[in-house]
Amino acid sequence: MQLLKILIIVIIAGLMMMGCSKDDSSYTEDNSVDQAPGLVVKAESPEPLAVPELIEPKSDSDWEAIVNNKNAEIIGVLNILNPVATYIIAAFEQYDDKLGEITHEEWEDTGAQLGRANSIYEDCKKRIADKKFDKKLFLDLEEAWQVYVKVGVAGLRTKTMIDDDLKRAS
């Protein structure tokens, strides 16, 4: 639970930094982001994923509850990452030629990390569906969670780079 609190603080701090960036972009009601006059990224935020209720573990070896709670943390992180990723993908689809080489490289690196996290998490979801709860599953979920958090930071950095590129392009 302490780890979840730390995660929430880090994410909120990142979002606050994103909101306080030097460009004057702000979300409009249709979830588009104004970059500069004439350059608007049209992106619809995806629906948030349902987060499982936390379960109080009955013991240190109650892997079903422990895995459930780690999975809930991951889904919470994904609910923050998905809108940022959707925005970034839309920006590349709409303005690829206006985005700098470094921005492309940053997103490529972030995408590789995201692919790694998704691969680990997909394997974990299969084991959860098969009810194969054990310490190894928990550790794999923890690894996926850690990579998703890193992807979140990299995603915010990429979004900021996109905003700067689009501002310069206008």
Listed as ranges, residues in the chain with pLDDT below 70 are 1-38
Interatomic CA distance for residues 82 and 46, integer angstroms: 7
pLDDT of residue 170: 81
Reading the block at residue 65, the tokens are 């509850």
Q: Are 93 and 69 in contact (CB under 8 A)?
A: no
pLDDT of residue 97: 95
Q: Which residues contact 84 (CB under 8 A, 6 or more apart)?
A: 152, 155, 156, 159
Cα torsion 160, 166, 169, 170: sign: negative
pLDDT of residue 8: 56
Nearest partner of 44 among 55, 58, 33, judged by Cα: 33
Q: Are 85 and 39 in contact (CB under 8 A)?
A: no
pLDDT of residue 164: 93
Interatomic CA distance for residues 87 and 84, integer angstroms: 5
Q: Which residues contact 132 (CB under 8 A, 6 or more apart)?
A: none
pLDDT in tens, 91-121: 999 999 999 999 999 999 999 999 999 999 9
pLDDT of residue 22: 44
Q: Residue 13: count other Cβ atoms within 10 Å of its Cβ.
A: 10
